[in-house]
Structure 1
């Protein structure tokens, strides 16, 4: 999930069909990195070393242009999404545990049940039958 979460690649560099749309948005790294970058860069100004550009550049411009961070919402939304993921994943894990707890005995019983064997009656002349029945 680290590669498709934008941890090593910028969002615009990810291939669109699979990696960006479902995977990028469910990866926790997206929200952790964006929240971190928003916390560090928003509201700041930096000197601009690009020739012909303005003397300063804002943190919002760095977020949008360099790091390709979505600035349409607050860093606290990113934190809330991360906590929501923690709760959701714990609930999913709990559900899986309960499901396995219920289904595992059924599966064990299905595999343990062998086909019914016919009862074999062996004839033993020295059995405890009366003498009249043996003759």
Structure 2
């Protein structure tokens, strides 16, 4: 689902930028921003609050992918010694060490990623449709502002072999 979401975002970016190099640069920058703000490199409570925590962390799709992955791996896990003493459980690792939100299951994280993917595909459809309409509107405005008059150049030659003198060329070009 995360890969589908990334592909959807790249499709939106590709439809907005003028060439593929700008699309790659913009897409890589957006992906880096999402990875950095997703809570993988820095724990959520350690993220700076002004930019990274409040706008980025809460809208970041990578956060849901990380949390779903962590919940899938650690829920139900019990780390024990050889004598059978439980040292730590997976829930404690998730809550205390990784600071994963435990209020919902991994399936909710997957559902959020699916909804984000569908929304991004719909945004891509809207961008493509709006750009098609914008091209027609711009073309119509340009044609009304400066209509190009078509000129026909008709040259008649007195003989079967045309003369290549400068005056014949000037007459041919209608200059």
TM-score (norm 1): 0.74
Return 57-66 or 17-26, whichever deviates more: 17-26
Select which of 99, 105, 121 maps to 1:90. 121
Counterpart residue number, 1:59 = 90
* Superposition misfits of 4+ residues, deviation over 6 angstroms: none
Q: State the secondary structure of the residue aligned to 1:3.
A: helix
**In 2, distance between residues paired with 1:99 and 1:71?**
41
Q: CA RMSD in A?
A: 2.2
> What is the CA deviation profile of residues 59-83 of structure 1, one whole-angstrom value per residue up to 9, with x for unaligned ones?
0110011111001111100000011
Q: Aligned-pair distance for 1:100?
A: 0.8
- Equivalent pairs, count: 112
Q: Aligned-pair distance for 1:42?
A: 0.8
For structure 1, the 5+ residue unaligned runs are 49-53, 117-135
Relative contact order: is structure 1 or structure 2 higher (C-alpha 8 Å, sep ≥ 6)? 2
Select which of 103, 122, 133 maps to 1:72. 103
Q: Rg larger in 1 or in 2?
A: 1
For the 8 Å contact 2:38–2:66, the answer to whether it is kept is no
**In 2, distance between residues paired with 1:59 and 1:22?**
29
